[in-house]
Chain A
Amino acid sequence: MSNGHGGSAINNDLTEIFLMEKFHWLPQDIAKIPYKKIQKYFTIEKWKDAGISDKKSTQEMIKQLAPKNKKRK
């Protein structure tokens, strides 16, 4: 989904519910968090879900997942 500035949009309702459940914040507290921090937090969470713990293993995983271009003989 486009959010007007080229980045990935975050699902608003799910984000707030997640943060409320995990940190017991109120919606009015969540509204004051810098957008960039939320973006970063959810990217790290996504990595964790994928079993990726650091940058090196992320790059390794990308390499493994990338389709291999076999050279034609």
Chain B
Amino acid sequence: MFITDDEVIDVIVYYRQVGRVYLSYKESDFNENIKEEDKVKYKKLTVSMRILTWGLYNELQDAAWLRDENMEKSTWSNKKYKEEKLKKIIVKWDATMKNKKGEEIPAPINSNTIMSMSPNIAETILSAYDERSIFSEEELKK
């Protein structure tokens, strides 16, 4: 019933670069929609994320408010919500980056690396996470 800080869920995303854009898929969409012969073109990214608890949910909602000069909540920002969410929930990943010598090295998890992710990959991670963490209205009706 109660979640401890060390409990995580793993989300798997497949991606590949096409020109300057990254195509990315959640594991279920990838298995369903990508032909077997094309699957080798994709890289796999595994992201471990904090479980969405009532406390974390409220923390994220609260962080997404833009505040006026009196620090009062003024506008709820979907962009800020997503950014805060990525920064607060990702605890581990197997992402890599190139160093100055062009060698692949593990990418650290920090604000810089998270904010420099391809938007498509970031959206796919969030979507896969939400699917595991939140009932959609359709699911609740079932």
The A contact surface, by secondary structure, is: helix
Number of interface residues of A (CB under 8 A): 25
Query: CA A2 – CA B65 in complex, angstroms?
Result: 13
Whether A39 pairs with B2 at a CB distance below 8 angstroms is: no
Question: Looking at the complex, which one of A5, A29, A38 makes contact with B2 (CB distance below 8 Å)?
Answer: A29
Whether B58 pairs with A4 at a CB distance below 8 angstroms is: no
Asked whether any CB of chain A lies closer than 8 Å to the CB of B94, the reply is no
Asked whether any CB of chain A lies closer than 8 Å to the CB of B118, the reply is no
Whether A39 pairs with B3 at a CB distance below 8 angstroms is: no
**Mask of A5-30 contacts with B, CB within 8 angstroms, 1/0:** 11110001001000000000000111
Closest to A55 in B: B142
**Residues in A8-64 with C-beta less than 8 Å from chain B:** 8, 12, 15, 28-40, 43, 55, 58
Asked whether any CB of chain B lies closer than 8 Å to the CB of A3, the reply is yes
Closest Cβ–Cβ distance, residue A56 to chain B (whole Å)? 12
Whether A36 pairs with B135 at a CB distance below 8 angstroms is: yes
Asked whether any CB of chain A lies closer than 8 Å to the CB of B46, the reply is no
Asked whether any CB of chain A lies closer than 8 Å to the CB of B136, the reply is yes
Whether A8 pairs with B133 at a CB distance below 8 angstroms is: no
Number of interface residues of B (CB under 8 A): 27
Whether A32 pairs with B61 at a CB distance below 8 angstroms is: no
Query: CA A65 – CA B13 in complex, angstroms?
Result: 41
A contact residues around B76 at 8 Å (CB) = 2, 4
Closest to B134 in A: A7
Asked whether any CB of chain A lies closer than 8 Å to the CB of B81, the reply is yes
Closest Cβ–Cβ distance, residue B6 to chain A (whole Å)? 12
Query: CA A37 – CA B38 in complex, angstroms?
Result: 38
B contact residues around A43 at 8 Å (CB) = 135, 140
Question: Which A residues are closer than 8 A to B by beta carbons?
Answer: 2-8, 12, 15, 28-40, 43, 55, 58
Listed by A's residue number, 5 A-B pairs whose Cβ atoms lie within 8 Å are A7-B135, A30-B55, A33-B3, A34-B54, A43-B140
